[in-house]
Structure 1
């Protein structure tokens, strides 16, 4: 592959990624702001699920507001300096970990609320939620630290770009790779799979329409996250085992692939408001805001009362069904 071909490949992939990121910004910025405003202003009674959705929208918004930096960089060059490069990358990586931890917490909370209704009584909810959210963000900021160390500005076909990672050794590269894919993808999705298998079983027994509705919201979030992040982790895996840094053409091709898979990551931060709106269509209302208000209030009211009423009322029936099967 000639150098001109490599430059052309970079330009084409850069333009494609810029278009994707531009669309993500136009959808994600107002969409996540709408979700945050709707919950803060109109949902005073917030369940675990609604609080986690609020923090997820905050994490998505933080990612989306970095998009103008990336769009300009891909269209022209990175002119913001090495400190801004590390800062922007750190924000994105922190929010990536926060997002997957929040989504995992939603599934765990759903399982606990249905399987052990007494464990989330009203007086315990606030304290548990505050500690859980503080722990999630603390871990997210901690696990994102390697990005500050490894990312830097370098030349790509004579143009400075904030897209490069440099490792001091192979062992450091492996550790960073395992940290991202194991902590940020594999373990959370193992937890998600286990929890939702149990949740699906109990929902079938309890036959609660509202719980099914809110579970549908979270399942959509989980699937969207997996679809958008899987190419990124797959690309990193291929890069680690194939070592594309052996020659310049392969390196250029790898960075072109990184642009596309990275752009899909940003798309995820714009999808969740669209998913909420899609589910909210089931409510009657002339404005999207009013539909979202009804959706979030419905989820909040369901889980606010579940330990004392809905869930407890179904326990005798569940026990009877279990004894019948035995």
Structure 2
């Protein structure tokens, strides 16, 4: 981002700062609202709502780093290399956790049941931390045109770059989204058969979260893929490899902005979905949306069916008893 500052203050500083500032202004309070609503008002949380809670936490952790990025964009990275490594490590951890959470959310809704979700969530976050370790080994503070920035990684060899980048792209993008495509491909065929209109809405809401995440993180992984291709063709086509590396470096700027935008959009999606529930639930607000999603969980549905079946059974028994009583009091 600092490299862009030489092109002029309007393009290089003002516009990116405004974008990042708006992301922080809307995204941080929005995710805080989601977290506060779930913790304070949703007492019986379904698996989906619990996953939304963790996703909001991951998005909030990404967004709270924005003031540092805005300052470094306007001036220079003055926080040192350890802080650079720590912050990028945090963002990468949240990237992995977000894609794992969204994948788990989709699988949970497709399979209609999940056990030991708390243990699975702990494992998910631990895996996100582990897969983010390469960032600590490679992230550097680089000086360009007299300004320091925290945007680039330095690899010890082409093999190290190949392994780290391939791992990030496969684990953080290709594998999870392959699962998502399969799950939602199967789920789409069932949406039209659902009898509950609002179950369709909650399903579409989660699908929207998936689509937004895909759009916002695709530039980052496109840059990774360009980097991988440049490594593969570097010996045979050095000029083309250099062009691909430059393109990958330019993707860093686009990808960085999209990451923060992605963390901002989710609470906006929830709020728009909450408005669509107003007429049926006769109340406004994200609180009713999240309570509704909890009520539409498979376990809640089973309990409701059991209650209805029991009530119908009691009504049937009561009706039979009344008929017996009538017969008993009639004279022969």
TM-score (norm. length: structure 1): 0.83
Q: Quote the offset at 1:242 in angstroms.
A: 3.5
Is the CA contact 2:166–2:228 (under 8 Å) kept in the aligned structure 1?
A: no
Take 1:216 and 1:136, find their aligned partners in 2: how far apart are those partners?
Answer: 24
Corresponding residue number in structure 2 for 1:182: 170
Is the CA contact 2:226–2:245 (under 8 Å) kept in the aligned structure 1?
A: no
After superposition, the Cα gap between the structure-2 partners of 1:29 and 1:76, relative to the gap in structure 1 and judged at 3 Å, is: same
Corresponding residue number in structure 2 for 1:64: 63
Take 2:4 and 2:152, find their aligned partners in 1: how far apart are those partners?
Answer: 20
Corresponding residue pairs, total: 296
Take 1:207 and 1:167, find their aligned partners in 2: how far apart are those partners?
Answer: 54
Corresponding residue number in structure 2 for 1:31: 30
Corresponding residue number in structure 1 for 2:221: 233
1:219 aligns with 2:188: no
1:307 aligns with 2:302: yes
Take 2:162 and 2:243, find their aligned partners in 1: how far apart are those partners?
Answer: 23
Q: Quote the offset at 1:139 in angstroms.
A: 0.7
SS in 2 for 1:163: strand
Q: Quote the offset at 1:236 in angstroms.
A: 2.4
Take 1:252 and 1:7, find their aligned partners in 2: how far apart are those partners?
Answer: 18
TM-score (norm. length: structure 2): 0.81
Corresponding residue number in structure 2 for 1:87: 86
Take 1:186 and 1:312, find their aligned partners in 2: how far apart are those partners?
Answer: 43
After superposition, the Cα gap between the structure-2 partners of 1:22 and 1:284, relative to the gap in structure 1 and judged at 3 Å, is: same
Is the CA contact 2:165–2:224 (under 8 Å) kept in the aligned structure 1?
A: yes
Q: Deviations over 1:183-234 (max 9, x none)?
A: 1111111101111122222333343323212111110100100111111111
Structure 2: 5+ residue runs without aligned partners?
309-332
1:102 aligns with 2:117: no
Take 2:278 and 2:24, find their aligned partners in 1: how far apart are those partners?
Answer: 28
Is the CA contact 2:226–2:244 (under 8 Å) kept in the aligned structure 1?
A: no
1:280 aligns with 2:263: no
SS in 2 for 1:274: helix
SS in 1 for 2:193: helix
SS in 2 for 1:155: strand
Is the CA contact 2:31–2:56 (under 8 Å) kept in the aligned structure 1?
A: yes
Between structure 1 and structure 2, the one with the greater Rg is: 2
After superposition, the Cα gap between the structure-2 partners of 1:5 and 1:20, relative to the gap in structure 1 and judged at 3 Å, is: closer
SS in 2 for 1:168: coil
1:191 aligns with 2:179: yes
After superposition, the Cα gap between the structure-2 partners of 1:5 and 1:19, relative to the gap in structure 1 and judged at 3 Å, is: closer
Take 1:158 and 1:249, find their aligned partners in 2: how far apart are those partners?
Answer: 24
Q: Quote the offset at 1:14 in angstroms.
A: 5.1
Corresponding residue number in structure 2 for 1:75: 74
Is the CA contact 1:86–1:152 (under 8 Å) kept in the aligned structure 2?
A: yes
Q: Deviations over 1:22-50 (max 9, x none)?
A: 11111111000001001111000100000
Corresponding residue number in structure 1 for 2:265: 271
Is the CA contact 2:23–2:264 (under 8 Å) kept in the aligned structure 1?
A: yes
Higher relative contact order (CA 8 A, sep 6+): 1
After superposition, the Cα gap between the structure-2 partners of 1:136 and 1:311, relative to the gap in structure 1 and judged at 3 Å, is: farther
Corresponding residue number in structure 1 for 2:323: none
Take 2:65 and 2:261, find their aligned partners in 1: how far apart are those partners?
Answer: 13
Take 2:242 and 2:177, find their aligned partners in 1: how far apart are those partners?
Answer: 35
Question: Which of 285, 292, 297 is the matching residue for 1:291?
Answer: 285
Q: Deviating runs (4+, > 6 A) in structure 1?
A: 243-253
SS in 2 for 1:205: coil
After superposition, the Cα gap between the structure-2 partners of 1:139 and 1:49, relative to the gap in structure 1 and judged at 3 Å, is: same
SS in 1 for 2:78: coil
Q: Quote the offset at 1:62 in angstroms.
A: 0.3
Structure 1: 5+ residue runs without aligned partners?
114-118, 314-326
Corresponding residue number in structure 2 for 1:324: none
